[in-house]
Chain A
Amino acid sequence: MHLGTRIRAVALASAGLFVVAACGGSSGTPSANIAPPDKQILRVNTGVEPNSFDPTQETYTYEAAVGRNTFQSLLQPKADLSDVQPAAAKSYDVSSDGLTYTFHLQPNAKWSDGKPVTASDWVYGLQHFLNPALAAGYVDPFFDGTIAGAQNYGNVDVTSASAIDSFLSGLGLSAPDANTFVIKLQHPAAYFKWVMTLWVAVPLRKDVVESAAGGSFPSTDTTKPLAWANNANTIIGNGPFKISEIASKDHVTLVPNTNYWGGTAKLQQIIYYYISDGNTEFSKYQTGALDIANVPLADVTVVRGDPVLSKQAYLYPQLTGFWMDFNSKEPPFDNPKVRLAFAKSIDRDKLANDVQHGTAKGLSSFIPNGMAGYDNSDNTQSFDPAAAKALLSSAGVTADQLNKFKLLTRNSTGSKTLNQFIADQWNTNLGLNIQLDVIDSKTVTSRIRKGNFDIYGPSGWGADYPDQQDWMDIWFAGSCHSLNFGCPTLAGYDALVQKADSELNQSQRNADYLTAQKMLIDQAAGAFLYQPYEYDLVAPYVKITHTAFDDQFAPGDQNYFSAYITTH
């Protein structure tokens, strides 16, 4: 079954290193062969229905794909990922102590119903997002770790309206005038500009939320504040598109927001289907019922060999990395030498070619290629079976001791295939006999959260934004069992990363993060494996600005505003 297999790692958002090309071999000027308005329809598959159309409640890429088009954040990543650029904010200033961010809003910004977007809408939107009673998935650690007052997020009594109200009014959010939105921070955080590119930090209209709720409500209420997002008529956003139709379990349709400050999009409709089965998605593309589709792993070689399809296929790297976790609380995996021996006995090129059919690249460091902090100079974890064996014997660990350990594996085709390959590598290269322990996904999660495993994988992370901070805090000792399932002891790591997080001098930050990453690699916090590539089909008549890394979910979806369909 392929239920939910297209749920990729959480929030692979983010922007691109270099613009590759407009897809589909363009010819002529954009306006010359543009299809008439009734043909300006783009049909894409998100695989799963978003849990909400309220962007603040969205966590996964397939949800944010809709949220980002209907609501706009203050900033967005530049195409080359070097910095942020204006979006809903025309510009922003940072105080010299790095604690106060002042955003100057686009003066002509309007909601999809034509009313002006004001700074108080931004305050309301962030207060809605940060209401602890609503327990939004993306507050921690991005916002409760940065915004002044939000550090108490986890300690608020959510059954007390006065406790919530005083927490929300104590947050460092203010609107000195209609066009100025000010955020105060707990500590200097050079990465905060990136936090403000996330799809969850958006404005909301108090009058819309309250009228959909049937009047004002206490802040302890967990359903009324979300009622507006269930009905297309009350989903009023500030983004380039708005939702025109919600067909539950089937699709959602977006149409241009004619009040968008940046103009009106060329696409007259974007239809996001929820097709969970990858093969069904692929066959729908082949019959012309989808314009953009992901190629299932089993069909990669078919597409490559097909004279027509291969010309419509695009292979581009994702800002994502995968690794294996070792339970470092228990011997012998508490010994970094043992972990490193396992890391050094995996042939990552073979993995990328044989298991992933070339839709991945071996990665023996932590941060993936294409964003700040990528370091391929450290080859400590590189494939070297002889050195790996030597490490094991110097650690004084025998095969008999290791053979009792199991590789905990989720019961999905992808996980089973990958882990079988990895166990084979260890068994061949280290002379071991490690077996898989395949069980259902929820049980696996509950076990790794309690540290109840020997070896687990693959763990993965996709960049929310191209700043190292988004990656390095995974390995904090305090985040043990959140995504850092192995919980290795890394002396001095937390202090070094926290220093870099608050550092305002960018070159010093980079140097500190690099040192910290070296600790992860050298002590084999995880056995870093590979960076996945996206292999997608785009119909030749779809013109999108496809920037490498710049896709949250489907090719070009950061730029649907400028996308269009040619005559065909």
Chain B
Amino acid sequence: MAVIAGRPKGGALLPARLSALSSSRGGSLTIFIIRRLLWMIPVVFFVILITFFLMHLAPGSPWDRTGGRQLSAAVTHNLDIKYGLDKPEYQQFFIYLGNIFHFDFGLSYQYENKTVTSLIGEGWPYTATLGGLAFLLFVPVGIGLGVLAALRQNTRVDYVTMGFATLAASFPNFVVGALMVVVFSVLMSKWTQHAFFLPSADFGLDDHLIMPVITLALLPIAYTARLTRASTLDTIRQDFIRTAWAKGLSERLVVVKHVLKNSLIPVVTTLGPTFAILVTGSVIVETVFNIPGIGRAFVVAVTSRDYPMILGTTVLFSVVIAIANLIVDVAYVFIDPRVRLS
């Protein structure tokens, strides 16, 4: 078969072939990662396909107004031409796909002359910083509380920890956020004459972050604590732990080396999706604390039928989630020796 140098025949880079390649050579980590990254292309394609046609199915046009006079037919027709909505939907879809290859995600309908790329570029650093910090807070705190509750099962420590977790999981974000603002920003400043209070809103890499990060991390802390406790209790009762105790190992060694290593596997599974959820933004936290992130931008885009912005953020979210899941899968290799990549 004639093969042109440097230009593999169609299908040469397909995941199935790669998979065969990797298994035949014993499955190296690099090939696994490459394969998974290539899989993202069809995943993102189907995300775009489904999102594109679903959002066009949603009733209402981007030019409909909530209040006041509706735009005349002539003006909406000209707007359709301006944003390419005058063409049939399948054509719009292929034009969009073509543009993505040049990293052109189109112009937002909400802001004159602003590209989706620039809007996401402005908003995502805020959202990602906030989500990243919440992740760094919830992982140690959630796991720590869970292990503590499991080791001191049915004691006061257990009840207090789990009581807190139940409360934290039951209070919705918007209640926690608003309560914190009222207590720490408004009431505190009145009582202490501004000697101690937290700023109520806005984004800055300073004490402005404290309340939103706590609000965002509270639910994952509660969830992780409960999950860790259950899985730790499960592990503690296993025979090999009894053996470890019988060998006369210290509590520290038993917990860290034997219990945690096994009980954290289900917890690690949830870290990927949770990380993805955190760094793609929470509309509630961003609204209550007035943070200019993309969590809020996405919801506003949906309610105002800003099609390019909806697609752009959805593509970003799907890529982040895929990568987070990939990292979790790779992490298994190091945590759980039973996991084989092939």
B69 touching A474 by the CB < 8 A rule?
yes
In the assembled complex, which residues on chain A have CB atoms less than 8 Å from the CB atom of B81?
A: 133, 158-159
CA distance A52 to B111 in the complex (A): 6
CA distance A345 to B303 in the complex (A): 34
In the assembled complex, which residues on chain B have CB atoms less than 8 Å from the CB atom of A277?
A: 287-288, 290
Interface centre among A10, A155, A248, A440 (most CB of B within 10 A): A248
B200 touching A3 by the CB < 8 A rule?
no
B72 touching A7 by the CB < 8 A rule?
no
With both chains docked as a complex, state the minimum distance between the C-beta of B138 and any C-beta of chain A, in angstroms. 24
CA distance A11 to B65 in the complex (A): 13
In the assembled complex, which residues on chain B have CB atoms less than 8 Å from the CB atom of A1?
A: 283-284, 287, 299
- Contacts A3-B299, A154-B72 hold; do A135 and B66 have CB atoms under 8 A apart? no
In the assembled complex, which residues on chain B have CB atoms less than 8 Å from the CB atom of A460?
A: 67-68
Q: Does B58 contact A (CB under 8 A)?
A: yes
Quick one: CB contact mask for B300-311 with A, threshold 8 Å, 1 for yes? Answer: 100111000000
In the assembled complex, which residues on chain B have CB atoms less than 8 Å from the CB atom of A248?
A: 119, 122, 292
Q: Does A403 contact B (CB under 8 A)?
A: no
A226 touching B112 by the CB < 8 A rule?
yes
Interface pick from B6-14, B180-188, B245-253, B323-331: B180-188
In the assembled complex, which residues on chain B have CB atoms less than 8 Å from the CB atom of A410?
A: 66
In the assembled complex, which residues on chain A have CB atoms less than 8 Å from the CB atom of B290?
A: 250, 273-277, 280
A287 touching B200 by the CB < 8 A rule?
yes
Interface positions of A from 1 to 55, Cβ below 8 Å from B: 1-4, 7-11, 49, 51-52, 54
- Contacts A280-B181, A280-B290, A287-B199 hold; do A153 and B74 have CB atoms under 8 A apart? yes
Contacting B68 at CB < 8 Å: which of A139, A230, A289, A461?
A: A461
CA distance A287 to B114 in the complex (A): 34
CA distance A249 to B287 in the complex (A): 11
CA distance A446 to B76 in the complex (A): 13
CA distance A482 to B72 in the complex (A): 7
Interface centre among A51, A54, A139, A159 (most CB of B within 10 A): A51
Interface centre among B67, B75, B79, B297 (most CB of A within 10 A): B67
CA distance A248 to B203 in the complex (A): 12
Q: Does A362 contact B (CB under 8 A)?
A: no
Contacting B305 at CB < 8 Å: which of A49, A223, A442?
A: A442
A158 touching B78 by the CB < 8 A rule?
yes
B296 touching A135 by the CB < 8 A rule?
no
A443 touching B59 by the CB < 8 A rule?
yes
In the assembled complex, which residues on chain A have CB atoms less than 8 Å from the CB atom of B185?
A: 283, 286-287
With both chains docked as a complex, state the minimum distance between the C-beta of A298 and any C-beta of chain B, in angstroms. 11
B60 touching A443 by the CB < 8 A rule?
yes
Chain A residue nearest in CB terms to B69: A483
Contacting B71 at CB < 8 Å: which of A7, A11, A140, A443?
A: A140
CA distance A10 to B64 in the complex (A): 13
Chain A residue nearest in CB terms to B110: A51
Q: Does B107 contact A (CB under 8 A)?
A: yes
In the assembled complex, which residues on chain A have CB atoms less than 8 Å from the CB atom of B91?
A: none
Contacting B201 at CB < 8 Å: which of A10, A275, A446, A482?
A: A275
Chain B residue nearest in CB terms to A308: B190
In the assembled complex, which residues on chain A have CB atoms less than 8 Å from the CB atom of B61?
A: 446
A140 touching B74 by the CB < 8 A rule?
yes
Quick one: CB contact mask for B263-296 with A, threshold 8 Å, 1 for yes? Answer: 0000000000000000000011001111010001
A287 touching B59 by the CB < 8 A rule?
no
- Contacts A10-B65, A133-B78, A446-B59 hold; do A230 and B114 have CB atoms under 8 A apart? yes
With both chains docked as a complex, state the minimum distance between the C-beta of B255 and any C-beta of chain A, in angstroms. 43
Quick one: CB contact mask for B224-247 with A, threshold 8 Å, 1 for yes? Answer: 000000000000000000000000
- Contacts A280-B201, A286-B186 hold; do A449 and B287 have CB atoms under 8 A apart? no
In the assembled complex, which residues on chain A have CB atoms less than 8 Å from the CB atom of B111?
A: 49, 51-52
Q: Does A227 contact B (CB under 8 A)?
A: yes
In the assembled complex, which residues on chain B have CB atoms less than 8 Å from the CB atom of A449?
A: 64, 70
- Contacts A249-B297, A250-B202, A442-B303 hold; do A2 and B287 have CB atoms under 8 A apart? yes
Interface size of B by CB at 8 A reads: 57
Chain B residue nearest in CB terms to A410: B66
B59 touching A222 by the CB < 8 A rule?
no
Interface centre among B190, B200, B305 (most CB of A within 10 A): B200
With both chains docked as a complex, state the minimum distance between the C-beta of B125 and any C-beta of chain A, in angstroms. 12
A279 touching B178 by the CB < 8 A rule?
yes
A445 touching B287 by the CB < 8 A rule?
no
Q: Does B73 contact A (CB under 8 A)?
A: yes
CA distance A52 to B288 in the complex (A): 25
With both chains docked as a complex, state the minimum distance between the C-beta of B9 and any C-beta of chain A, in angstroms. 41
A229 touching B200 by the CB < 8 A rule?
no
In the assembled complex, which residues on chain B have CB atoms less than 8 Å from the CB atom of A222?
A: 82
Q: Does B24 contact A (CB under 8 A)?
A: no
- Contacts A52-B112, A443-B60 hold; do A223 and B107 have CB atoms under 8 A apart? yes
Interface centre among B107, B122, B202 (most CB of A within 10 A): B202
Q: Does A406 contact B (CB under 8 A)?
A: no
CA distance A223 to B110 in the complex (A): 14
Interface size of A by CB at 8 A reads: 65
Q: Does B197 contact A (CB under 8 A)?
A: yes
- Contacts A249-B123, A442-B59, A442-B305 hold; do A154 and B74 have CB atoms under 8 A apart? yes
In the assembled complex, which residues on chain A have CB atoms less than 8 Å from the CB atom of B154?
A: none
Interface positions of A from 308 to 363, Cβ below 8 Å from B: none
Q: Does B19 contact A (CB under 8 A)?
A: no
Q: Does A518 contact B (CB under 8 A)?
A: no
In the assembled complex, which residues on chain A have CB atoms less than 8 Å from the CB atom of B170?
A: none
Chain B residue nearest in CB terms to A5: B66
Q: Does B189 contact A (CB under 8 A)?
A: yes
Chain B residue nearest in CB terms to A1: B287
Quick one: CB contact mask for B203-230 with A, threshold 8 Å, 1 for yes? Answer: 1000000000000000000000000000
B70 touching A154 by the CB < 8 A rule?
no
In the assembled complex, which residues on chain A have CB atoms less than 8 Å from the CB atom of B182?
A: 283
B200 touching A135 by the CB < 8 A rule?
no
With both chains docked as a complex, state the minimum distance between the C-beta of A440 and any C-beta of chain B, in angstroms. 7
CA distance A249 to B181 in the complex (A): 21
In the assembled complex, which residues on chain A have CB atoms less than 8 Å from the CB atom of B192?
A: none
Interface positions of B from 120 to 149, Cβ below 8 Å from A: 122-123
With both chains docked as a complex, state the minimum distance between the C-beta of A17 and any C-beta of chain B, in angstroms. 23
In the assembled complex, which residues on chain B have CB atoms less than 8 Å from the CB atom of A250?
A: 202-203, 290, 292
A482 touching B292 by the CB < 8 A rule?
no
With both chains docked as a complex, state the minimum distance between the C-beta of B254 and any C-beta of chain A, in angstroms. 48
Contacting A8 at CB < 8 Å: which of B67, B197, B201, B303?
A: B67
- Contacts A135-B79, A155-B74 hold; do A289 and B69 have CB atoms under 8 A apart? no
Q: Does B113 contact A (CB under 8 A)?
A: yes
CA distance A447 to B64 in the complex (A): 10
Chain A residue nearest in CB terms to B292: A249
In the assembled complex, which residues on chain B have CB atoms less than 8 Å from the CB atom of A249?
A: 122-123, 292, 297
A4 touching B66 by the CB < 8 A rule?
yes
With both chains docked as a complex, state the minimum distance between the C-beta of A169 and any C-beta of chain B, in angstroms. 19
Chain B residue nearest in CB terms to A155: B74
Chain B residue nearest in CB terms to A2: B287
Q: Does A382 contact B (CB under 8 A)?
A: no
Chain B residue nearest in CB terms to A440: B303
CA distance A155 to B70 in the complex (A): 18
> Apart from A3-B300, A4-B303, A135-B79, what 17 extra A-B contacts exist at CB < 8 Å?
A2-B287, A3-B296, A10-B68, A140-B72, A153-B74, A158-B78, A158-B82, A222-B82, A227-B113, A249-B297, A277-B288, A283-B181, A442-B60, A442-B303, A442-B304, A449-B64, A462-B68
Can you pick out 25 interface pairs between chain A and chain B where the beta carbons lie within 8 Å of each other? A9-B68, A10-B67, A51-B111, A140-B72, A248-B292, A249-B122, A249-B297, A250-B292, A274-B292, A276-B290, A276-B296, A279-B178, A280-B201, A280-B288, A286-B190, A287-B200, A289-B199, A289-B200, A442-B58, A442-B60, A445-B70, A446-B60, A449-B70, A460-B67, A483-B69
Binding site for A on B (CB under 8 A): 58-61, 64-76, 78-79, 81-82, 107, 110-114, 119, 122-123, 178, 181-182, 185-186, 189-190, 197, 199-203, 283-284, 287-290, 292, 296-297, 299-300, 303-305
Closest 3 CB pairs of A and B: A154-B74, A10-B68, A249-B292
